[in-house]
Structure 1
Amino acid sequence: MQNKTFTDQLGRTIHINYPPQRIISLVPSQTELLFDLGLDEEVVGITKFCIHPKEQFKKKVKIGGTKTLSIDKIRALNPDLIIANKEENQQEQIEVLAQEFPVWISDINTLTEALKMIKQVGELVAIKTKAIQIADTIKANFDNLIPSSKPLKAAYFIWKEPFMLAGKHTFIDDMLTYCGFENVLSESRYPEIDIETLQQLQPQVILLSTEPYPFKQQHVEALKQHFPKAFIALADGEMFSWYGSRLLLSANYFKALHKSISFI
Structure 2
Amino acid sequence: MSPRRIVCLTEEPCETLYALGQQDRIVGISGFTVRPPQARREKPKVAAFTSAKIDQILALKPDLAIGFSDIQADIAAALVKAGVEVWIANHRSVAGILEYVRRLGALVGCAAQAEAYADALERSLDAVRSAAARLPHRPKVYFEEWDTPIITGIQWVAELIGIAGGDDIFPELSCEPLAKGRILADGAPVIARAPDIILGSWCGKRFRPEQVAARPGWDAIPAVRDGELHEIKSPLILQPGPAALTDGLQAIAAIIQGWSARQR
TM, length-normalised to structure 2? 0.82
Write out per-residue CA displacement over residues 79-131 of structure 1, whole angstroms, 9 at most, x where no aligned residue: 101111115x4222212222321111212221111111101111111122221
CA displacement at 1:252 relative to structure 2: 3.4
Write out per-residue CA displacement over residues 116-160 of structure 1, whole angstroms, 9 at most, x where no aligned residue: 110111111112222122111110011142323564221111112
CA displacement at 1:218 relative to structure 2: 4.0
Structure 1 residue aligned with 2:156, among 164, 167, 171?
171
CA displacement at 1:39 relative to structure 2: 2.3
Aligned to 1:203: 195
Structure 2 residue aligned with 1:192, among 173, 183, 186?
183
Distance (whole Å) between structure 1 residues aligned to residue 138 and residue 73 of structure 2: 36
Q: Return the letter of the residue paired with 2:222.
A: K
Aligned to 1:235: 232
Structure 2 residue aligned with 1:56, among 39, 49, 57?
39
Distance (whole Å) between structure 2 residues aligned to residue 62 and residue 140 of structure 1: 33
From the two aligned structures, give the one with the greater strand fraction.
Answer: 1
Distance (whole Å) between structure 1 residues aligned to residue 108 and residue 73 of structure 2: 23
Fraction of identical pairs, as percent: 22
Matches within 5 A, 1:29-48: 29-48=12-31
Distance (whole Å) between structure 1 residues aligned to residue 117 and residue 214 of structure 2: 40
Per the alignment, in what secondary structure is the counterpart of residue 105 of structure 1?
Answer: strand
Runs of 4+ in 1 over 4 A off after TM superposition: none
Structure 1 residue aligned with 2:77, among 81, 84, 95?
95
Write out per-residue CA displacement over residues 176-204 of structure 1, whole angstroms, 9 at most, x where no aligned residue: 22122222223334322222332122122
Q: Return the letter of the residue paired with 1:182.
A: D
User: Mean Cα displacement is larger for which, 77-86 or 138-147?
Assistant: 138-147
Q: Return the letter of the residue paired with 2:251.
A: Y
Distance (whole Å) between structure 1 residues aligned to residue 96 and residue 221 of structure 2: 37
Aligned length: 244
Matches within 5 A, 1:56-95: 56-86=39-69, 89-95=71-77
Q: 1:32 to 1:152 in 2, by over 3 A?
A: same
Contact preservation (8 Å) 2:232, 2:252: no
Distance (whole Å) between structure 2 residues aligned to residue 64 and residue 105 of structure 1: 14
Matches within 5 A, 1:148-159: 148=133, 151-159=138-146
Distance (whole Å) between structure 2 residues aligned to residue 77 and residue 260 of structure 1: 48
Q: Return the letter of the residue paired with 1:229.
A: P
Q: 1:47 to 1:227 in 2, by over 3 A?
A: farther
Contact preservation (8 Å) 1:32, 1:244: yes
CA displacement at 1:208 relative to structure 2: 0.8
Distance (whole Å) between structure 2 residues aligned to residue 65 and residue 48 of structure 1: 6
Per the alignment, in what secondary structure is the counterpart of residue 18 of structure 2?
Answer: helix
Distance (whole Å) between structure 2 residues aligned to residue 180 and residue 140 of structure 1: 16
1:134 and 2:117 aligned: yes
Q: Which ranges of structure 1 fall in alignment gaps of 5 or more residues?
A: 1-17
User: Mean Cα displacement is larger for which, 158-167 or 27-36?
Assistant: 158-167
Distance (whole Å) between structure 1 residues aligned to residue 236 and residue 30 of structure 2: 19
Per the alignment, in what secondary structure is the counterpart of residue 31 of structure 2?
Answer: coil
From the two aligned structures, give the one with the greater helix fraction.
Answer: 2
Alignment root-mean-square deviation, CA: 2.4
Distance (whole Å) between structure 1 residues aligned to residue 23 and residue 72 of structure 2: 26
Q: Return the letter of the residue paired with 2:168.
A: N
Q: Return the letter of the residue paired with 1:138.
A: L
Q: Which ranges of structure 2 fall in alignment gaps of 5 or more residues?
A: none
1:183 and 2:180 aligned: no
